Amino acid sequence: MEIRTPFALKILRAFMVAAVVASLGSCGVLGFIFSTPFPQTTVLAKAQADLSGVISSSSADSFNLKTVATGGYEYVMLIGPNGGVAYVYDTDLNLKKTLTNFGGNGLMVDTSGNIVLGSTEFSPDFSSSSTLTSGITVFSAGSTGVDGFVDSPTSQVADFGVNSNVLAYIPFPSGWIPSGSQVTVPLSSYLSNLTIDGIFEDASAGTVTFAISPSGNNSSTTTAYFFTVNRSGFTIPTNVLDSSSSRDHLVSASIGYAQGSIFAYDTSSSSFVQINPANGSTKNSFYSPTNDPSHLRFVYRVGGGSFYGFNKTTRILTKYAAWW
Amino acid sequence: MRIARILVPLIALLMFAPLGGWSADERVANVSVCVFPLANLSPNGAQQEHQKPLSEAVRQEFENAGFHVLPDDQWTPQAESFGIEPNQVTGGTQAIFLGNEIGFDMAVTGSYWIENDRILVSIQCWDIKAGTLITGFLHTWRFNLGFYNFVRAEIADLAQRVVFLSAPRLIALKNDVRVDEIIFTSKQEGMEVLIQGHKSIGRIQNGTLVFQTDGINAGTTFTVEKRQEGYHTLQQTVVAAPQVELTPIPRANNLSLEADWTFGQLEGAGATLRWYPKPDWIMISFSEYLYAQISLLPNASVPIHADSELLAGLYLFRPPEAGFRFGLSAGVGTILTWIPATSLPLFTDVYINILSLWAEWKAWGIPMFVRVETKLPLGIGNNLLGSGGPPLLWGGFFPPITLGVVIPWK
């Protein structure tokens, strides 16, 4: 096209400027201009521990990442399968202890305020240990959270598991005296093939929040159901999931708990989300489009402040600052 | 009365004597000319009565030279419709604008200034299509009875110069017009000129080079080769005419610098050093891009990324003097990431730059480019980007897009 007059040229220039401004004003263009190929969590990373020298890539998937707090101590623990090895870090990821041969991979704090790992009871500072009463082992209920908790000053519950739609657990008196009476509770009248994503004990609130998914696994998205019960006088209503809140498109291995909220990675919004477990609504979110968490395992400090991710590919454990 | 019958034609003959040496040139019969009235610039608007005879003299001389001079009524109304006062057109801008709008080939503008017994006359001729000044004059005379003789001679000479100088541009020359000498002009001092690629006729000195043609038909096209040490050799096809302008040849660059800016890395900037084994065609480049990753999240750190890249590349298709060029490159790179105020180690993301494509154009004589890159991270060492995934994408969708400018160095 031949521009014949200065006026036409001015009109064309004005149109082009308007088009550029309009396109810049759209979120997509600005999002592109200020985006980055690096994981959004990079800006939150504060510390790292490289476990590639001690955990093989083939076994990394079988390690659970959990936190435990008792007696003024708080630890981040990577727990291997079958009670073989566990790496104990403080909250700044300084290695405090490497544990071996503890007899199982369940983790909890018992009525004595000690840390129970598998079939071994440790003092809060890991300076001493003893084996639980013969035959008792705390097994892992999920890849994160806790595997048992104290429900009264003289009793505790552990060994949670799900068979199809029925949740089972065992109450133990203090001192880990065998009781042998397993409790079973149907969780849903229509959901089956359930998996425990995590059991989250909130000591300050005196509650336990369950995250349970149908057909969940650690690398795919799932619909997670949430319900919260009191630790004291612990009991679970029959078919509790039928009236529980739920949330779709969550990565199972990313589900965690802190400060009364559930946290997870939501693939539908490509975001980390803070979820109200009472109704499944989102409180806050953190857009992280390039962060594929399928090879990550997350755990959150219950009191907040930070969360941790274990990269099963690089076997690097990273501490992140809280984003919410 | 009898005497008067003899003297008046005699005086008229004397007044128009300068015209006798020139005759109408049929070659310019189709060249349409708009002769604007000469603007009166005399103090206080005096001497207005001379505007008409002076302007008429200009008009007549161009008609006598053979040009097709437009009648006033063919252009005055349109000029006024554009808000242009016909009596006040003194510059090329308005004349060329009207020429393009109305559709004539050439414009003649001018002005005069009379004070005491002196008169100053300025006249210019404009090539409408080229948008340039063809020629003109500015002259002062004593303003007396001989003035009209002098000014008519000057105008007639101007009209003939226009015929001669502008002929190749405005009209088709006939074969029987021969050019014995061509003056090549160029801004590039020292440039050697070869005729038809083999006969050197010398170098441009003081902006000109005279070529004795031994007689060549005007309008004949031929090729000259232009060359100079440190510059690209180029050929230019020219048309035989008394004066031919040769365009400069581009410098042959061995080293260049790039300054660039990549979307998604806006909180920083990059620089690249290009080395050309074959000037302006094949290059090895090393680049460094330093930028911060800024987030509005609470407790967020500010990671610093340093992207170093070694690439081999080449331009495609179009020569160095082209205003628009394409190129491609490939190579390897590493992004080092340092996160201040943390105990985190230095992260290393090694990647292969599979293919970079760029388009480069000259804006205000400076090469500017836009480049799209395909970077594939390898996941080597303690890295952030992993491996095995798709090439790096900004916002999950877009490849890195870089805008930059190339600064010739050596």
Predicted-complex ipTM score? 0.72
Nearest CB among A33, A45, A314 relative to B339 is that of: A45
pLDDT for res A290: 58
Evaluate if residue A242 carries a pLDDT over 90. yes
Question: Which residues lie below 8 Å from residue A147, measured CB to CB, with a gap of 6+?
Answer: A106, A107, A108, A138, A139, A140, A141, A158, A159, A160, A199
Interface residues on A facing B, Cβ-Cβ cutoff 8 A? 4-5, 31-40, 42-48, 50, 92, 270, 286, 289-290, 292, 313-314, 316, 321-323
Query: Cα(A21)–Cα(A29) distance, rounded to whole angstroms?
Result: 10
pLDDT for res B221: 83
Question: Which residues lie below 8 Å from residue B367, measured CB to CB, with a gap of 6+?
Answer: B325, B360, B361, B405, B406
**Residues of chain A contacting residue B386, judged by C-beta atoms under 8 Å apart:** 313-314
How does pLDDT run across A203-219, given as a tens digit for each residue? 889 999 999 998 744 45
**Residues of chain B contacting residue A47, judged by C-beta atoms under 8 Å apart:** 342-344
Say if the Cβ atoms of A32 and B394 lie within 8 Å. Answer: yes
Task: Give strand pairing partners of A317.
Answer: A49, A310
pLDDT for res A19: 60
How does pLDDT run across A143-193, given as a tens digit for each residue? 888 999 998 888 899 999 999 899 999 998 888 887 668 899 999 999 888
Fold of B178-245: Immunoglobulin-like (2.60.40)
| pLDDT average, residue stretch A116-127 | 93
| Dihedral of alpha carbons B258, B261, B262, B265, sign | positive
What CATH code would you report for A47-321? 2.120.10
Say if the Cβ atoms of B264 and A34 lie within 8 Å. Answer: yes
Say if the Cβ atoms of A5 and B101 lie within 8 Å. Answer: yes
Query: Cα(B230)–Cα(B210) distance, rounded to whole angstroms?
Result: 24
Say if the Cβ atoms of B263 and A43 lie within 8 Å. Answer: no
Say if the Cβ atoms of B344 and A48 lie within 8 Å. Answer: yes
Decide: residue B13, CB within 10 A, 0-12 exposed, 13-18 middle, 19+ buried. Answer: exposed
How does pLDDT run across A28-42, given as a tens digit for each residue? 555 555 677 788 888
pLDDT for res B324: 86
Q: How many CA atoms lie within 13 A of B272 on its CB side?
A: 27
Let me know: does A118 contact A138? Beta carbons within 8 Å.
yes
pLDDT for res A55: 93
pLDDT for res B385: 83
Q: Compute the mean pLDDT over every residue in chain A, rounded to the nearest whole number.
A: 85
> Where are chain B's structural domains?
2-170, 178-245, 255-408
Task: Give strand pairing partners of B164.
Answer: none
Nearest CB among B293, B305, B395 relative to A289 is that of: B395
Say if the Cβ atoms of A36 and B265 lie within 8 Å. Answer: yes
Q: Which of A2, A3, A4, A35 to mutate to test the interface with B (most CBs of B within 10 A)?
A: A35
Helix B2-15 to helix B147-170 angle (10° resolution) is 40
Provide the Cα torsion B162, B164, B169, B172; round to 10°: 130
Res. A26 pLDDT band, cuts 50 70 90: very low
Question: Which residues lie below 8 Å from residue B86, measured CB to CB, with a gap of 6+?
Answer: B36, B37, B72, B75, B76, B79, B80
pLDDT for res A22: 54
Q: At residue B215, what are phi and psi to the nearest 5 degrees?
A: 90, 110
What CATH code would you report for B255-408? 2.40.160.20
Pairs of CB atoms within 8 A across A/B:
95
pLDDT for res A152: 86
Q: At residue B153, what are phi and psi to the nearest 5 degrees?
A: -65, -40
Question: Which residues lie below 8 Å from residue B363, measured CB to CB, with a gap of 6+?
Answer: none
Evaluate if residue A21 carries a pLDDT over 70. no
Q: Would the pTM count as exceeding 0.95?
A: no
How does pLDDT run across A40-87, given as a tens digit for each residue? 888 899 999 999 999 998 899 899 999 999 999 999 999 998 878 999
Q: Which amino acid is present at B66?
A: G
**Residues of chain A contacting residue B345, judged by C-beta atoms under 8 Å apart:** 48
CA distances from B24 to A108, B124, B208 (A): 113, 20, 32
Res. A252 pLDDT band, cuts 50 70 90: confident
Decide: residue A25, CB within 10 A, 0-12 exposed, 13-18 middle, 19+ buried. Answer: exposed
**Residues of chain B scoring pLDDT < 70:** 1-25, 27, 164-177, 197, 388-390, 394-397
Instruction: Measure A5 CA to nearest chain B CA, in Å.
Output: 8
Say if the Cβ atoms of B300 and A43 lie within 8 Å. Answer: yes
Let me know: does B212 contact B180? Beta carbons within 8 Å.
yes
Let me know: does A308 contact A65? Beta carbons within 8 Å.
yes
Q: Which amino acid is present at B295?
A: S
Q: At residue A118, what are phi and psi to the nearest 5 degrees?
A: 65, -115
Q: Tokens for B267?
A: 């909180």
Place of tokens 């612990």: A234
- What are the b/e assignments for A56-69, b being 16+ CB within 10 Å? eeeebebbbbbbbb
pLDDT for res B173: 42
Provide the pairing of β-strand A316-321 with A306-311.
Answer: antiparallel
pLDDT more than 90, % of chain A: 51
| Dihedral of alpha carbons B369, B374, B380, B384, sign | positive
Say if the Cβ atoms of B383 and A38 lie within 8 Å. Answer: no
Instruction: Measure A142 CA to nearest chain B CA, in Å.
Output: 27
pLDDT for res A222: 84
Which strand (E) or helix (H) includes residue B80?
helix B76-81
Fold of B2-170: Rossmann fold (3.40.50)
Q: Where are the alpha helices (DSSP H) in chain A?
A: 6-25, 27-33
Total residue count of chain B as it appears in this document = 410
Closest residue on chain B to A306 (Cα): B299
Decide: residue A194, CB within 10 A, 0-12 exposed, 13-18 middle, 19+ buried. Answer: buried
Q: Tokens for B64?
A: 């006598």
Radius of gyration of chain B from Cα atoms? 33
